[in-house]
Structure 1
Amino acid sequence: MADAAVEFLLNNLTQLLVYNVHLISSVKDQVNSLCTDLRLLAAFVKDATDSRDKSAVVKQLVKEIRIEVYKAEDIIDMFVVHASVQNSRTTFKKLFHITEHTKKLHSIGKEIQDIRRRVKDLYDNKLFGYIASGGRESVTRSPPAVEEDNVVGFDKEAEEMVGWLKAETEELDVISVLRHVYTSAASNLPTPSSKSRKGVKDPLINENLRTMSKVSPKTCTDVIFARTPNLQKLGVRGNLMSLMEETDGSCKFDNITKLTHLETLKLLNDTYPISPLDGRLRGLLEWYKFPPKLKKLTLSDTMLNWENMSVLGKLPGLEVLKLGDNAFMGERWETPERSFVRLRVLEIGKTDLAIWKAAGVQFPQLQRLSLKQCEQLVAVPWGLGGIPTLEVVELCWTSHSTVASAHRIQKSFKLVVFPPDQLETQT
């Protein structure tokens, strides 16, 4: 439900304010205001969904809120990583990078303001019109297909990703301005025909497109990605076995490998109607099969064995790793030496992991560790307490023994525990 998604984002924003207050003073007001704005919409959506309202206005509002949730999540991660990097620098390096740092903070602040503006537009254009009509359908001003910041979100898999950026000549202005496309379900885009204008350059190439989220594994073809060469963010949802399985020495994931500008990749394994156990991934491809500039990776419901983490540990530029529910399964994980050399943020969601062995040398730049619903985990690895860069350890619905172990290794990092009563029993 959308209200749950918004509440999850609000919890993340609140925690960001709590344990990164020294990092976010420059954008604190924007984040606080965004929380307030989203709470207004969250309250409305909750009331509407609780009353089983099925109006088109509410359905569209739900989808547009999700789009802003996805964008805000990426911005939060980007800000925490960048601010942490600047904070860890020496005084000389801070001064040397001050211009770059200021520009990035200004850019992030502007993105948050843009989200606030779009949330306000949603409130004014959708919510007000809905309430004014007493919960009935009402005619409200619709935003243009291409927003001012070139972000597009449509129903029905973004109208098949704007008709796959339509091949007809008269529809090519659309291609020149479109930059970000978000959808609420996995889009299964057809492979475009080879018909093109006379000349050297393929008229269907969209060099401006930066984001596609989400597409199905069937969409990950060489033809489609050849026409979106500058993608920076990609989300794939569906049965990922069809993405990873090799046939005649190649697989669809090879096409993702060729996206040389890709920095963010989300892989969400949705096996319906097959059971998750039958649709679990047997393994990951070798590390060099991943895009060369990959910085942020999210996996969910892949049910991989922990041995496959050795592949991710070799990714040279990986800074943020989010393991959603059931991304990895198994009772034991021993992190190999010289792994995750640039990783700054590690999040592990619901899993049956019980024993985790790791040392600081395996996460030399780790700054934030988040464990959520790792209820079987006995303890946080002792070696992580010696990581000098570690700033925050977040434990959400973990065992009492895990909380106790975090207290024992706590030196300079902040410990955030939810629910709070787990923390109280240890003090």
Structure 2
Amino acid sequence: MRNLSLHQLKFGHVECTQIYLPHPPPNDFVMGNFHTLTKAVNLRLSEEVCKRIPNTNKLHLIYDDELEGYDDCLLDHLHNLGSLRKLQSLKLVVSTFPNRSSCNADRLKCAFPISLKKLSLENCSLDWNDLTIIGSLPQLEVLKLVDSVKGRNWRPVNGEFRRLTFLSIVGCVLRCWDGESSHFPVLKKLMLKRLKQLEEIPLDIGEIPTLEIISMVGCTESAEISAIKIKEEQESLGNEGLLVQMSSWKDIFTWD
């Protein structure tokens, strides 16, 4: 949907294949009752635009340097996400050529409002240390990282991810994950896909009392073995409820 009139945006939700919004918005363009905007392409998220969508709680942004309206400065405006105080669900997809532009960690710092409950990042070029910013979000329950984190070593910090129940990591080059159960105290579902260098899942992850499932697709044999060890250890302690799934083909990741 390329040519959606601004005057048509009078309902609370807009879901479309693609939507392009002009900048600056017209003076009468205020969507106080607007709650959902999905697949907005190359949106210049300026302070002025954020003022016009103050009550948005679900947002899906796509930045693609092969589509209409792209320029490198668009990504610099992402820090304004922090002003959307009612935003609960954010999906950010960046499709850019590495030698031309990228969504780097500096541009994402302090970008997220504390109201966020769901966050999905695709191709965002973070470092594992940058997850401290995300982990400090007090309401965050769902985190999905798709080809978004560089670096081979991850050591989470105690006191973060206090409410995280769902963690999905897809396609990163993570090799050494030095984690403990205290890093994700209420995690229920751990989903790993295309982690072709991961040596193992930290055994202490099995000590998370709320953990229900570990699902793996296309990961290393050593990582799969560690998942089996976690299950066996939990069974020896009387915990029969942990489910471990492994597959080389089935796509188990969804976003709603």
The TM-score range, normalised by the shorter chain, is: 0.7 to 0.9
Q: Which of residues 135, 147, 150 is equivalent to 1:329?
A: 150
Provide the residue aligned with 1:276 in structure 2.
98
- 1:292 positional shift: 2.4
- 1:222 positional shift: 2.3
Q: Which runs of 4+ in 1 moved over 6 A?
A: none
Q: Which of residues 19, 25, 29 is equivalent to 1:192?
A: 25
When normalised by structure 2's length, the TM-score is: 0.83
Change (3 A) 1:336 1:286: farther
Task: Work out the CA distance in 2 between the residues paired with 1:291 and 1:276.
Answer: 27
Secondary structure at the residue paired with 1:353? coil
When normalised by structure 1's length, the TM-score is: 0.51
Q: Does 1:320 align with 2:142?
A: yes
- 1:339 positional shift: 1.7
Task: Work out the CA distance in 1 between the residues paired with 2:100 and 2:133.
Answer: 22
Change (3 A) 1:224 1:286: closer
Q: Do 1:358 and 1:383's aligned partners in 2 also have CA atoms closer than 8 Å? A: yes
Task: Work out the CA distance in 2 between the residues paired with 1:242 and 1:390.
Answer: 41
Residue identity matched to 1:242: C
Residue identity matched to 2:180: A
Provide the residue aligned with 1:181 in structure 2.
14
- 1:285 positional shift: 5.9
Provide the residue aligned with 1:80 in structure 2.
none
Q: Does 1:215 align with 2:40?
A: yes
Residue identity matched to 1:416: Q
Question: Deviation digits for residues 250-305 of structure 1, max 9, x if unmatched?
Answer: xx23432111111001111121xxx2355333315687542121000000011222
Provide the residue aligned with 2:177 in structure 1.
356
Q: Do 1:186 and 1:237's aligned partners in 2 also have CA atoms closer than 8 Å? A: no
With CA pairs under 8 Å and 6+ residues apart, which has the higher RCO, 1 or 2?
Answer: 2
Residue identity matched to 1:183: C
Larger-gyration structure (1/2): 1
Task: Work out the CA distance in 1 between the residues paired with 2:102 and 2:153.
Answer: 18
Secondary structure at the residue paired with 1:409? helix
Change (3 A) 1:190 1:288: closer
Task: Work out the CA distance in 2 between the residues paired with 1:288 and 1:264.
Answer: 16
Identity %: 29
- 1:409 positional shift: 1.3
Change (3 A) 1:317 1:284: farther
CA-based RMSD of the aligned residues comes to 2.2
Q: Does 1:300 align with 2:122?
A: yes
Higher helix share: 1
Q: Which of residues 16, 37, 59 is equivalent to 1:234?
A: 59
- 1:244 positional shift: 4.9
- 1:224 positional shift: 2.4
Change (3 A) 1:289 1:299: closer
- 1:338 positional shift: 1.7
Secondary structure at the residue paired with 2:55? coil
Change (3 A) 1:280 1:313: same
